Structure 1
Amino acid sequence: MNDKASVSKELNAKHAKLLEGLLKLPENRECADCRGRAPRWASINLGIFICLQCSGIHRSLGVHISKVRSTTLDTWLPEQVAFMQCVGNEKSNNYWEADLPASEDRSDIGKFIRTKYQDKKWASRYAPQPAPSNMTDETIEFEEKADIPRKARKYSLEDEVFNAQQPQVPSTTRSRGVSLDTMDELLNLPPKTGLINAPSVKLKEEKKDLFSLLYASEANQDRTIVPPSRWATFE
């Protein structure tokens, strides 16, 4: 299925409005190559806005170098608009014209564009090329959820459904013998709500040791306690 067919008229109209706003930015008011005024075309993989004349030259380079779209006539996908928002003419030229001499002649604009993008003569040797693959999810954003790129929307929906279907497993705790409440009763302590202001209890006066408390349940059993001196040993 063609991805463009999934773009509704309302979303397409919003994309056109966003692109119109990008074209009003100072760095995008001129063609990225010839510096002509009011560009109305774009290279969606280079992230630049160009004029009609330069768009024809970009088409001749092949789609492996430049993919040309009209900002007013073509249907745009959300991720394409997002990439244009992230790059623009200034960021793109910071890479492609990093080593461009100030006196470089642009009169032969066809030669200039081929040297710039095909030969990469003036491209930066240190910074990476602005490309959709270099854009992170945090960088590509839209103002509303409906404009989030398709891939991000897909995984967000799958995560939501997965979490909703997970069974709620009740937490379990292991018994540690005598509970704190039982200990309070044996020591004749006041309730926990008043534990902070309660008077201190002296265990020595109560004449109860920890061993007798923990094994209080065995006190009623008829057993003969053998002193340690008579314990049997193994030879």
Structure 2
Amino acid sequence: MAANVDENVKALQEVRRREENASCVDCGKPDPDWASCALGVFLCLDCAKIHCSIPSINNVKSIRMDHWEEGQVEFLAQRGNAKAKARYEALVPAYYYRPVHTDCLVLREQWIRAKYEREEFMEPGKQSSYSNGLMEGILWKQGRDNRQYLPRRFLLLEREGCLKYFTKHDAKEPKMAIKIDTVNAMFQPEKTGHPNGLQITYLKDNKTRNIFLYHEDGKEIVDWFNAIRAVKFHYLKVAFPVACDQELKRRLTRNFLKEGYMEKTGPRQKESFKKRWFTLDHRRLMYFKDPLDAFAKGEVFVGSGENGYSVLEGLPDGTQGSFTWQYGITIVTPDRDYLFTCETEKDRQEWVAAFWHVIKQPMTPQEYAVEAYFKLKP
């Protein structure tokens, strides 16, 4: 009996060592140590927990801690992650967001449910809720001034290339019509305090505007997210006809490079440093009095190193403004230096790394135009 157990363990480890099984089938996390007896795939612990909540695929076991029968090991050997992806991800649209292990729970859960429970990507026509260029429904939107979430009707129209929302369900005219080419969307559960919290940003008069939304139903909010990506993808297909799908996908939605509190001083560098919430959205460094503010109090353009931008640890000698936090950062631009302080050395290192990530990249023609706008601002 013991010999059979040892043989099963050895065979299981051989299957697990295959290159196709070296990462979680659903989120790509390396070294998965769980497996599905229902699907014959290898999973990380977090995705295994999601599988356990879905009755049709809830037969999962630990590779290290559970006992494996010979037939179960043979099933894994015959299936594996590559075959499962070929079957369950056969028709994933180019614009559909495939979550990774660092993404929030609602994205990962709905990806798994879409694949195995709803089988959305196994035959054509099952993605109609977010793929036909038209989506309408009620989302809970945070008020700009009172911070209360109220139901608002949203309308996404590919033929007009815009996202609209209405303050009343039967209103004829929208409160706001947002051009889809300026829209970005990202999930922000921690920031909004809701597991399905979504942040939408867009440009208004070349300034960033934030909208915070949620829906109680995870499928509904993820469908909205992918519908926005779908409409934007089709818009970019027309705008950049020679660009490949992979290049267009990178332009659909993006997470902020870095967010968090820092202190800042004013342009004379003699004012007291004030605590602000900062968001680095590629070349736009924005600061807010509160993380959920609709508009930034100010924005700083972060260009490339070849155009005179750099970031330094520390503050210039003789800095006069009083500050509470001791870990300084100086952003050097062609026009002026910006001074910040961080609460910890870890925070400083993370911010410096994020700034260098941007500064090392050459600027595009569109970014030169944005830089020119920033220089013309009063």
Q: TM-score, normalised by structure 2?
A: 0.30
Q: TM-score, normalised by structure 1?
A: 0.47
Q: Kindly name which structure, 1 or 2, has the bigger radius of gyration based on alpha carbons.
A: 1
Q: Which has the higher helix share?
A: 1
